[in-house]
Amino acid sequence: MRIAGRKISGGTIAVYLTVIVVTIIMLLPFAWMLSASLKLDRDVFAFPIEWIPSHPRWQNYVDIWTKIPLALFIYNTSKLTIIVTVLQLLTSSFAAYAFAKLHFPYKNTLFLGYIATIAMPWQVYMVPQFLLMREFGLNNTHLALICLQAFTAFGVFLMRQFYMSIPNELCEAARIDGMNEYQIWAKIMLPLSKPALSTLTIFTFVTTWNDFLGPMIYLTKTELKTIQIGLRMFISQYSAEYGLIMAASVVALIPVLIVFLSLQRFFVEGVASSGLKG
Amino acid sequence: MQWLEAFWTKEGKGIPKDAPKRTGLPLFAEIIAREWWELVKLNLLFLLFSLPLVTAPAATFATATICRMMVEDRPVYLLRDFLEALRAHAMRATVWALVAGTAVIIGVGAISAYAAAARTSLFYAAPLALSLVVTLFVTLWAACFVMVSVTEARPFWESLKLSALAALLRPLPLLAALAFVAALWIAHILFYPVSVFMPAVMNFSLGMFAVAFGAQGVVAQVLARSEEENTIQEP
Amino acid sequence: MASISLKKLNKTYGALKVVHDIDLEIADKEFIVLVGPSGCGKSTTLRMIAGLEEISGGELIIGSDLMNDVPSKDRDIAMVFQNYALYPHMTVYRNMAFGLELRKAPRDVIERQVEEAAKILDISHLLNRKPKALSGGQRQRVALGRAMVRNPAVFLLDEPLSNLDAKLRGTMRAEITKLHKRLDATFIYVTHDQVEAMTMADRIVVMKDGHIQQVDTPQNLYDRPVNMFVAGFIGAPQMNLLPAKLTQEDGRFFALVEEHKLPLPQSFDRSRLLAYEGKDVVLGIRPENFHELAPADIDPANSAPFHAVVELAEPMGSEVHLNLIAGGRNMIARVSPRFRSKIGDRVSLVADLTNAQLFDPQTERSILY
Ligand SMILES: Nc1ncnc2c1ncn2[C@@H]1O[C@H](COP(=O)(O)OP(=O)(O)OP(=O)(O)O)[C@@H](O)[C@H]1O
Ligand SMILES: [Mg+2]
């Protein structure tokens, strides 16, 4: 088949069609969320689905701020997310530097042991962990969540793999030039690992922002709650205000989108400029 | 991720030593393509140091210093050089801002007054044209003064004289640079909601860079000539 | 003063010993080249001198100080790596100035040093660029420049030219030699390319399996190799090593190779030869010591006809490399391009034994030296 003077094989078309279909399926729930956020509760589950509401209820986007302390929840979530993300970036890249470029006894064993914890689902040990934290008196504090989430085996793994690709000679040249290990980490490794750091930022930001179980277990006071559990306040014993829930969800989604869109460029650029050429 | 390793060690095309150096717009584009990230950082620095308004003139001079180094393709240590220039030019920059600011404001005032008058009587067209030309010249002169000052340390009056000379000698590249600055701001206004971050990201540094680029040739020429005169007079 | 001495220097990785008791005295301002086949421990030795690799045993003395436990940055050394190891996120200027900045050198000193080094290496036009844009040769120069600006007493170079193409390698070779003359510093240079070793070195250290085989000037190494490994390693094409028998007739020694009876020069040490009379030895003759006609300037008493079958002729322009077979042995002769021969021809050459070598087939050591 020829399109715009180019020869295009049936295989290509099939691939594109598949990709488009998958994309649509992935995006459908978002579209539903958007449309539901502009509806009355009773219209939300009306069938067939009215994708573009004939009478969009913009009022939903006003009500969410007054019915629950949404601004406070957003503040709490932002605070947790930013602190956790920054801490994770620091601790991961710091530990990863040691695992990737330094020599110490039992390095690989230690690393494997640490990485193995990724395989253990959090649900398995969250209860004992909670009891431990309660012993420390950290129940109902943001500090508990920050302490738990500041370290991640996955982040260390990601950063280490990236650092492994940076030639050792670079560190050695820096040592001869007179840097100590901390300076090498700060002045050579960090600036070079922008693609990996932005990848990790996206992951961490999105997971922490969307985290439900963690705040659910640790935070019971309303003034400490995050958006994800705050949304539950729209659900009472007998009814749920789905229109408002969806509107609040859309608001909660915006920061994640911003972070993703602004950082994915670094991520994609780093991968593209290195992998494809040369 | 070992495939990333090529990223660090892969060889580039190389930079030919004797290739004819680009001039004019291609050079301008080349430098911006190379230094755009530095320009963004410079813009942020400028904004940061202009916040306590009184330091804005000094920050302008410091930005000009950095832009000039970029134009001359000299290694820049952004923060260090910026702070140094800030300190070195603080006094002169303040005086410059007061004098040039007053002059330009008077000029603009005159222009608008005469323009209003010219609408009723054609008699005022001549003074309008005159005030237009004078204001434009003062703007050029002020821009040149910044560039002369950051290029070489000279006494105040000499710098003033030399910059006037420079503005008279070859005003065209400078006018083009000022037009570029104007275009940047007009773009910001025209595309307003989209271009909301333009001033934060690039308008100031890019504009100053254009001015530095436009003024570089004539400033060097003027300075070289005065140097010559000095050496002839001395013995 | 930057003389360097290695005393019984050792390196072990776990149970694996890769450098064995190396003893080496390097004079101040000398250009020393370490050569040897891949994996022989050249880099490891160099890296121990640089302080990048821990010394497992022995002593390293630079100047008059024991350096075993001194960190790299305090050893007054600079190193140039095979992949140049330029910091990708810094401009060339920054790359070169970095070491001095870390040492808190005054800014005018840094500027002067960097600009001077850039001028010497002809990279002034690159100062404001990032390494990503530079070609291999330019990176090489920047790497040299980075080493130069600190004025170190010792330069360590680990195969600095092996990533360059052949032509560039030639120019850079000459340039590094000039640099050495100009900088007045001690150079230790690792390569597995013997042309680099021969052309650049004051003295060459030949290594194999973590042992030093021989340390000498290039010419001595070529003329008087102490064992079969050095004889085979230095010189291209390789020295021919032929099994022979040593005999004595009328007070003269001969090497019997197949049907050939090759007279050994009178200058050889008789007492050493006597010990091998009637025994098997290995005779070493360099390819250029075979001639199509006996040239006027060789002593007829030290030469003899030699017959072999041509297997392959490789014209090199200025000469022809003949791959020959004599008595089931492959050998190579370098003859002039005028010499005409076809594959399968039985040719008759003249072997000049003035510079021949004799080795003990068991110990592989030279009988003569
Ligand atoms: N970290 C290590 N662990 C174990 N063995 C090692 C290590 N580093 C090097 N070796 C071994 O030490 C020996 C010497 O290595 P070295 O790099 O010094 O060789 P080289 O002479 O520089 O070779 P090349 O010409 O290939 O660079 C090699 O056999 C190598 O396998
Ligand atoms: Mg090596």
pLDDT tens-digit readout, C255-311: 998 888 999 998 888 888 888 988 999 999 999 999 887 777 777 888 889 999 999
Query: Has residue A40 got a pLDDT over 90?
Result: no
Over residues A75-95, the mean pLDDT reads 95
Query: Using CA atoms, how far apart are residues C359 and C239, in angstroms rounded to an integer?
Result: 12
Tell me the backbone φ, ψ of residue B181, rounded to 5 degrees.
Answer: -60, -45
- CA B120 to ligand 2 centroid distance, Å: 88
Chain C touching partners, 3 or more CB pairs below 8 A: A, B
- CA C37 to ligand 2 centroid distance, Å: 10
* Residue A40 within a domain: no
CB-based contact C96:C112 (threshold 8 Å):
no
The percent helix, strand, coil of chain A (3-state, each to 5) is: 75, 0, 20
Residue C249's SS3 state is strand
CB contact under 8 A, A176 and C50: yes
Q: Domain containing A131 — which CATH number?
A: 1.10.3720.10
CB contact under 8 A, C136 and B9: no
Instruction: Report which ligand 1 atom has the smallest distance to the Cα of C11.
Output: 12
CB contact under 8 A, A167 and B10: no
Domains for chain C: give ranges and CATH numbers: 4-233 (3.40.50.300), 240-288+303-359 (2.40.50.140)
CA–CA distances in Å: residue C306 to residues C326, C327, C333:
9, 11, 11
- The partner residues of C11 in beta bridges, in order of sequence, read C19
Instruction: Report the phi/psi class of residue C33: left, alpha or beta, with left for phi > 0 and alpha for psi in -120 to 50.
Output: beta
C221 lines ligand 1 (CB under 6 A): no
Query: Using CA atoms, how far apart are residues B100 and B138, in angstroms rounded to an integer?
Result: 7
CB contact under 8 A, B7 and A274: yes
* Residue A208 within a domain: yes
- The percentage of residues in chain A with a pLDDT greater than 90, rounded to a whole number, is 56
Of C70, C28, C27, C66, whose CA–CA distance to C52 is shortest? C70
Tell me the backbone φ, ψ of residue A55, rounded to 5 degrees.
Answer: -125, 80
What is the distance in angstroms between the Cα of A171 and the nearest Cα belonging to chain C?
Answer: 9
Tell me the backbone φ, ψ of residue C130, rounded to 5 degrees.
Answer: -90, 150
CB contact under 8 A, A172 and C102: no
Protein residue with least CA distance to atom 26, ligand 1: C38
Over residues B8-23, the mean pLDDT reads 79
C34 lines ligand 1 (CB under 6 A): no
What is the distance in angstroms between the Cα of A84 and the nearest Cα belonging to chain C?
Answer: 28
CB-based contact C357:C284 (threshold 8 Å):
yes
CB-based contact B43:B204 (threshold 8 Å):
yes
Q: Which residues of A touch C87 (CB under 8 A)?
A: 170, 173-174, 188
For residue C353, what are its two tokens? 């034994």
- Which of the residues A156, A158, A165, A171 would you substitute to probe the B interface, choosing the one with the greatest number of B C-beta atoms within 10 Å? A165
- CA C158 to ligand 2 centroid distance, Å: 7
What is the distance in angstroms between the Cα of B7 and the nearest Cα belonging to chain A?
Answer: 5
Protein residue with least CA distance to atom 7, ligand 1: C13
Query: Using CA atoms, how far apart are residues B152 and B145, in angstroms rounded to an integer?
Result: 11
Quick: pLDDT tens for C80-139.
999 899 999 999 999 999 999 999 999 999 999 999 999 999 999 999 999 988 998 999
Protein residue with least CA distance to atom 31, ligand 1: C39
What is the distance in angstroms between the Cα of B11 and the nearest Cα belonging to chain A?
Answer: 9
Give me the pLDDT at residue B234, please: 56
End-to-end, the C-alpha distance of chain A in Å comes to: 32
Question: Which of 10-69 (B) contact A at CB < 8 A?
Answer: 10
Instruction: Report the phi/psi class of residue A178: left, alpha or beta, with left for phi > 0 and alpha for psi in -120 to 50.
Output: left
CB-based contact A209:A84 (threshold 8 Å):
no
* Residue A4 within a domain: no
Amino acid symbol at B81: D
Give me the pLDDT at residue B196, please: 82
Question: Which of 136-195 (C) contact A at CB < 8 A?
Answer: 146
Of B36, B38, B58, whose CA–CA distance to B48 is shortest? B58
State chain C's mean pLDDT as an integer.
91
For residue A182, what are its two tokens? 């901390």
B2 inside 8 A of chain A by CB: yes
- The partner residues of C320 in beta bridges, in order of sequence, read C315, C335
8-state DSSP, B165:
H
Give me the pLDDT at residue A270, please: 54
Over residues A44-51, the mean pLDDT reads 82
Give me the pLDDT at residue A278, please: 29
Give me the pLDDT at residue A187, please: 93
* Residue A123 within a domain: yes
Tell me the backbone φ, ψ of residue C116, rounded to 5 degrees.
Answer: -65, -45
For residue A121, what are its two tokens? 């689902």
Query: Using CA atoms, how far apart are residues A228 and A256, in angstroms rounded to an integer?
Result: 13
Residue C155's SS3 state is strand
Of A257, A152, A156, whose CA–CA distance to A214 is shortest? A152
Quick: pLDDT tens for A24-38.
999 999 999 999 999
Give me the pLDDT at residue A274, please: 42
For residue B113, what are its two tokens? 């007054």
Query: Has residue A273 got a pLDDT over 60?
Result: no
3-state SS record for A88-108: HHHHHHHHHHHHHHCCCCCHH
Confidence of residue A6 (pLDDT cuts 50, 70, 90): confident
Instruction: Report which ligand 1 atom has the smallest distance to the Cα of C159.
Output: 27
8-state DSSP, A275:
H
Cβ-Cβ contacts under 8 Å for C132 (sequence gap 6 or more)? B10, B12, C88
C42 lines ligand 1 (CB under 6 A): yes
Instruction: Delimit the domains of chain B by residue range.
Output: 36-43+55-233
B37 inside 8 A of chain C by CB: no
Quick: pLDDT tens for A197-233.
988 999 899 999 999 999 999 998 989 999 999 888 8
Give me the pLDDT at residue A1, please: 60
The CA-based dihedral angle spanning residues C271, C277, C282, C285, taken in that order and rounded to the nearest 10 degrees: 60
Quick: pLDDT tens for A250-265.
999 999 888 888 887 7
Q: Given the DSSP bridges, would you call strands C154-158 and C77-80 parallel, antiparallel or unpaired? A: parallel
Pick B6's closest partner by Cβ from A162, A192, A274: A274
- Residue of B194 and C107 predicted with greater confidence: C107
Ligand 1 probe mutation, C13, C205, C206, C208, most atoms within 8 A of CB: C13
Quick: pLDDT tens for A54-69.
888 888 898 889 888 9
8-state DSSP, B65:
H
CB contact under 8 A, C89 and A172: no
Q: How many domains does chain A have?
A: 1
Query: Using CA atoms, how far apart are residues C76 and A266, in angstroms rounded to an integer?
Result: 39
Query: Has residue A11 got a pLDDT over 90?
Result: no
CB contact under 8 A, B2 and A274: no
8-state DSSP, A231:
G
Give me the pLDDT at residue A277, please: 33
The percent helix, strand, coil of chain C (3-state, each to 5) is: 30, 35, 35
Q: Which residues of C touch B17 (CB under 8 A)?
A: 122, 125
Query: Using CA atoms, how far apart are residues B113 and A56, in angstroms rounded to an integer?
Result: 52
Confidence of residue B182 (pLDDT cuts 50, 70, 90): very high
Q: Which residues of C touch A177 (CB under 8 A)?
A: 73, 98-99, 102, 146
Least confident stretch, A17-21, A104-108, A245-249, B224-228: B224-228
Chain A touching partners, 3 or more CB pairs below 8 A: B, C
* Residue A17 within a domain: no
Which regions of C120-185 does DSSP assign to beta strands (E)?
154-158
Query: Using CA atoms, how far apart are residues C227 and C230, in angstroms rounded to an integer?
Result: 6
The CA-based dihedral angle spanning residues C219, C222, C227, C233, taken in that order and rounded to the nearest 10 degrees: 120
- CA C54 to ligand 2 centroid distance, Å: 16
Of B6, A241, A9, whose CA–CA distance to C88 is shortest? B6
What is the distance in angstroms between the Cα of C133 and the nearest Cα belonging to chain B?
Answer: 4
Which residue does chain A place closest to B11, by CA atoms?
A278
Query: Using CA atoms, how far apart are residues B63 and B18, in angstroms rounded to an integer?
Result: 31
CB-based contact C120:C84 (threshold 8 Å):
no
Quick: pLDDT tens for A101-154.
999 999 999 999 999 999 989 889 999 999 999 999 988 999 999 999 999 999
CA–CA distances in Å: residue C124 to residues B19, B73, C93, C116, C168:
14, 11, 9, 9, 19
Confidence of residue B1 (pLDDT cuts 50, 70, 90): low
Residue A65's Cβ-count burial label (10 Å; 0-12, 13-18, 19+) is: middle
* Residue A20 within a domain: no
Quick: pLDDT tens for B42-55.
999 999 999 998 99
Report the greatest alpha carbon distance in chain A: 71
CB-based contact A111:A97 (threshold 8 Å):
no
Cβ-Cβ contacts under 8 Å for C8 (sequence gap 6 or more)? C21, C22, C23, C57, C58, C59
Of B108, B110, B128, whose CA–CA distance to B118 is shortest? B128
State chain B's mean pLDDT as an integer.
88
Residue-level length of chain A: 278
CB-based contact A166:A190 (threshold 8 Å):
no
- The percentage of residues in chain A with a pLDDT greater than 70, rounded to a whole number, is 94
Which stretches of chain C sit within 8 Å of chain B by CB? 83-84, 88, 91, 93-94, 122, 125-129, 131-139
Considering every ligand atom shown, identify the ligand nearest to the alpha carbon of residue C211 and give its number: 1
CB contact under 8 A, A169 and C85: yes
Over residues C46-62, the mean pLDDT reads 94
Residue C108's SS3 state is helix
Pick C134's closest partner by Cβ from B12, B34, B73: B12
Confidence of residue A275 (pLDDT cuts 50, 70, 90): very low
Residue appearing with tokens 């303040």: B94
CB contact under 8 A, B3 and A278: no
Query: Using CA atoms, how far apart are residues A46 and A43, in angstroms rounded to an integer?
Result: 5
Query: Using CA atoms, how far apart are residues B232 and B227, in angstroms rounded to an integer?
Result: 9
- The partner residues of C255 in beta bridges, in order of sequence, read C246, C262
Residue appearing with tokens 């510093």: C185
* Residue A9 within a domain: no
- Residue of C51 and B192 predicted with greater confidence: C51
* Residue A249 within a domain: yes
